[in-house]
Amino acid sequence: MSRQEARALGTGASDLGILAQRLRRLQGDPGEFAITSFDSHGLLWADDSWWEIEPIAGADAHESVGMAVFCVAWVVARRFRGIDAARALAYSHAVANEAVQQAVARASSPARR
């Protein structure tokens, strides 16, 4: 979920760590989730550990693209390929980064203006 969506769960909290702890309490430890904010750091809960999601350049304008692609790549990596959390995070981040960079390039191309 996005940081903005997570704020709805946090009754006004804006700190990413507080939002992530609130979501973890609501969901429980066995689940996995990410709070994305690709223009700044995000957090992922998987394999009973917290993982930091690094920012993606240009993602502030294309948050929905980055979030959707990250989520799909995560599911593919974890559920279909059985990849561990560290490698799944790296894969998901790389795929989301590529999608965002393509969206940025399309938005700034002269044909789109």
Residue 31 · residue 41 · CB < 8 Å: no
Q: How far apart are CA 24 and CA 79, in angstroms?
A: 20
Whether the full predicted model's pTM is greater than 0.85, yes or no, is no
| Mean pLDDT across 85-96 | 95
User: What is the per-residue pLDDT for 89?
Assistant: 96
pLDDT above 80 for 14: no
Mean pLDDT in the chain?
A: 83
User: What is the per-residue pLDDT for 82?
Assistant: 96
pLDDT above 80 for 4: no
Domains plus CATH for the chain?
3-112 (3.40.1190.20)
Nearest to 5 by CA among 52, 64, 61, 74: 64
